[in-house]
């Protein structure tokens, strides 16, 4: 098998769902990274992808047979303000690949040139954000969280200007269960296009939630998927950074790794994104924001659910399910993080007390939880007494030691893609040294396994390495 086989269901939808747009060729494509296991998962031949023909496709220079490149239309609330038209402004979907097991995936080239939705931007991406997304999405896969994935990163041999600097250009191949977002529904809702909403609703049911039997049960499925996803982010100390409605996928996958970051020192109000000046998307706000986004989704579905007040009440009742599902999943995950197989609400004060102490003592989120099973957690607290006065209550609650150890080892990663390491890997890559990037990729593939070779990746930043701000940087 060489070229991918496509079956482009989205491109068969009516014209108003997208603009037909080919990628713009680049000067000198060069493969930087290829996710071989993912290629195989998709039924693609990794050796062909790494060949000249494969790299030409990944750069957008040639289109394989059966590709139908499109830029998708969508709208979205950005930081709470509604923008009726956003759309793929620097990406095109080249087609849908059907894997050997029948699963369907979008192949999207990000940074592939201007589209009718570009408006101000150049449609390109630079190496920094491309490598960041590649690393972050690979780390997510290692952590077992639902995510879009990067199949490849290609350098373009061209420069793009960002913040007054000429940066090396790059294209990322993103693989997603689908790219339909809350903002896709909002695009048609804002236009009063009920037919399109019905089409999207049916598409999402058949593609992601075949057990759903209509708009209300689609809403219910998406609410549950997002509640579980956000609890997973919280348990890994992840801050998405731009939870706009156009960055919330209906599939329940994490999408759009922009100014995202993993926590170093834990604090619920922590923000990294340079553009999030109000702290709207702070770590601790993420569940409420997800629910707010889902309420926007629900309001798009109202005309399909039914008439007037009755529809509103039905949708509201489904939205009310978010918090209990989220809290249940949060409790299960954080219970496991402290070694409990079946935490109950009675364990909440114990978990919350640890988090409060971590916040006031500047404790590193990842190291403190992992340190519970190695006896080193107390070293993470500025004042270890804050840990020492918590620990007896915890130890009294723990079951058999070996069992608790195993639960904690599976719930608490050792390695996360720390901001300063990502920055260092990008800086080296700009200077044509890809070794730090490749080393990080290997180390993050199995983040729960002890490996002394990567001890340096376990520790937080020294003061001079600390990354205070992350940037969209597109």
**Residues at the contact surface with ligand AMP, assessed by CB under 6 A:** 86-90, 117-118, 121-124, 242, 246-247, 256, 258, 472, 474
Q: Which of 242, 330, 324 lies closest to 289, judged by CA?
A: 242
**Stretch of 8-16, 133-141, 239-247, 403-411 lying at the interface with Mg ion (CB under 5 A):** 239-247
**253 vs 256 by CB, closer to Mg ion:** 256
* Residue whose tokens read 């879009």: 148
**Calpha distance 254→234 (Å, rounded):** 13
Q: Taking a C-beta distance cutoff of 8 angstroms, is the pair 240, 260 a contact?
A: yes
Q: Least Å distance between CB 170 and ligand AMP?
A: 12
Return the one option of Mg ion, ligand AMP, none that residue 438 interacts with (CB less than 5 to 8 A, by type): none
**8 vs 72 by CB, closer to ligand AMP:** 72
**Calpha distance 368→387 (Å, rounded):** 10
Active site residue 276: no
DSSP secondary-structure letter at 4? P
Return the one option of Mg ion, ligand AMP, none that residue 360 interacts with (CB less than 5 to 8 A, by type): none
Instruction: Provide the b/e sequence for 16-53 (b: ≥16 CB within 10 Å).
Output: ebbbebbbbebeebebbbbbeebbebbbbbbebbbeee
E strand or H helix that includes residue 328: helix 322-337
β-partners of residue 106 are 96, 176
Return the one option of ligand AMP, Mg ion, none that residue 380 interacts with (CB less than 5 to 8 A, by type): none
Q: Least Å distance between CB 230 and ligand AMP?
A: 18
**Calpha distance 333→327 (Å, rounded):** 10
Return the one option of ligand AMP, Mg ion, none that residue 121 interacts with (CB less than 5 to 8 A, by type): ligand AMP
DSSP secondary-structure letter at 374? T
Does 254 contact Mg ion by CB under 5 A? no
**88 vs 96 by CB, closer to ligand AMP:** 88
Return the one option of ligand AMP, Mg ion, none that residue 335 interacts with (CB less than 5 to 8 A, by type): none
**Calpha distance 246→392 (Å, rounded):** 46
Q: Least Å distance between CB 150 and ligand AMP?
A: 15
Q: Least Å distance between CB 124 and Mg ion?
A: 15
Instruction: For CA atoms 427, 140, 413, 262, give the dihedral sign.
Output: positive
**46 vs 183 by CB, closer to Mg ion:** 183
**239 vs 407 by CB, closer to Mg ion:** 239
**60 vs 259 by CB, closer to Mg ion:** 259
Distances (CA, A) of 212 to 53, 104, 216: 41, 18, 8
Q: Which of 315, 147, 313, 299 lies closest to 220, judged by CA?
A: 315
Does 247 contact Mg ion by CB under 5 A? yes
**243 vs 408 by CB, closer to ligand AMP:** 243
DSSP assignment string, 180-241: -BHHHHHHHHTTT-HHHHHHHHHHHHHHH-TT--SHHHHHHHHHHHHHHHHHHHHHHTEE-S
Return the one option of ligand AMP, Mg ion, none that residue 88 interacts with (CB less than 5 to 8 A, by type): ligand AMP
Return the one option of Mg ion, ligand AMP, none that residue 113 interacts with (CB less than 5 to 8 A, by type): none
Q: What's the burial of 125, exposed, middle or buried (CB within 10 Å: 0-12/13-18/19+)?
A: buried
**Stretch of 97-105, 138-146, 160-168, 248-256 lying at the interface with Mg ion (CB under 5 A):** 248-256
Chain-centroid distance of CA 423 in Å reads: 18
- Pairing mode, strands 81-83 and 76-78: antiparallel
Q: Which residue is nearest to ligand AMP (CB)?
A: 121
Q: Which of 112, 126, 103, 109 lies closest to 41, judged by CA?
A: 103
Does 88 contact Mg ion by CB under 5 A? no
Q: Which of 106, 246, 276, 364 is catalytic?
A: 246
Select from 96, 256, 361, 380 the one that contacts Mg ion (CB under 5 A). Answer: 256
**21 vs 419 by CB, closer to ligand AMP:** 21
Q: Least Å distance between CB 430 and Mg ion?
A: 24
**Size of the residue set binding Mg ion (CB under 5 A):** 2
Q: Least Å distance between CB 141 and ligand AMP?
A: 20
Q: Least Å distance between CB 297 and ligand AMP?
A: 17
Does 133 contact Mg ion by CB under 5 A? no
Q: Which residue is nearest to Mg ion (CB)?
A: 256
Q: Least Å distance between CB 246 and Mg ion?
A: 5
Instruction: Kindly list the catalytic residues.
Output: 246
Instruction: Note the residues at the interface with Mg ion (CB under 5 A).
Output: 247, 256
């Amino acid at each position: 098998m060489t070229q991918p086989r496509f079956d482009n269901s989205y491109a068969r939808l009516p014209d108003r769902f997208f603009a037909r747009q080919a990628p713009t060729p680049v000067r000198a494509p060069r493969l930087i990274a290829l996710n071989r296991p993912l290629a195989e998962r998709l039924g693609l031949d990794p050796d062909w992808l790494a060949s000249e023909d494969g790299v030409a496709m990944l750069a957008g220079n040639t289109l394989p047979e059966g590709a139908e490149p499109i830029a998708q239309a969508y709208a979205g609330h950005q930081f709470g303000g509604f923008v009726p038209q956003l759309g793929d402004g620097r990406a095109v979907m080249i087609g849908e690949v059907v894997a050997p097991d029948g699963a369907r995936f979008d192949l999207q080239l990000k940074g592939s040139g201007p589209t009718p939705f570009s408006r101000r931007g150049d449609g390109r991406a630079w190496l920094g954000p491309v490598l960041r997304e590649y690393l972050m999405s690979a780390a997510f896969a290692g952590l077992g969280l639902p995510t879009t994935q990067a199949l490849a990163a290609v350098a373009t041999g061209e420069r793009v200007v960002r913040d007054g600097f000429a940066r090396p250009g790059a294209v990322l191949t993103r693989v997603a269960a689908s790219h339909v977002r809350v903002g896709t529904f909002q695009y048609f809702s804002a236009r009063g296009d009920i037919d399109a909403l019905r089409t999207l609703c049916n598409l999402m049911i058949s593609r992601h939630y075949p057990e759903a039997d209509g708009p209300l049960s689609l809403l219910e499925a998406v609410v549950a998927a997002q509640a579980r996803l956000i609890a997973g982010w919280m348990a890994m100390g992840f801050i998405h950074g731009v939870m706009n409605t156009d960055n919330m996928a209906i599939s329940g996958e994490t999408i759009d790794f922009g100014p995202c970051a993993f926590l170093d020192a834990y604090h619920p109000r922590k923000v990294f994104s340079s553009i999030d000046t109000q702290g709207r998307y702070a770590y601790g706000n993420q569940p409420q924001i997800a629910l707010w986004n889902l309420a926007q989704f629900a309001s798009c579905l109202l005309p399909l659910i039914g008439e007037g007040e009755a529809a509103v009440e039905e949708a509201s009742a489904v939205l009310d399910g978010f918090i209990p599902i989220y809290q249940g999943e949060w409790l299960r995950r954080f219970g496991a993080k402290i070694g409990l197989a079946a935490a109950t609400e009675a364990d909440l004060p114990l978990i919350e007390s640890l988090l409060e102490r971590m916040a006031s003592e500047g404790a590193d989120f990842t190291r403190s939880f992992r340190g519970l099973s190695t006896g080193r957690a107390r070293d993470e607290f500025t004042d270890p007494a804050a840990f020492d006065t918590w620990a007896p209550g915890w130890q009294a609650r723990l079951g058999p030691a070996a069992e608790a150890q195993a639960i904690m080892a599976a719930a608490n990663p050792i390695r996360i893609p720390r901001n300063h390491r990502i920055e260092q890997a990008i800086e080296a890559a700009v200077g044509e040294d890809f070794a730090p990037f490749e080393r990080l990729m290997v180390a993050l593939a199995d983040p729960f396994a002890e490996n002394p070779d990567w001890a340096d990746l376990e520790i937080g930043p020294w003061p001079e390495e600390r990354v205070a701000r992350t940037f969209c940087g597109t």
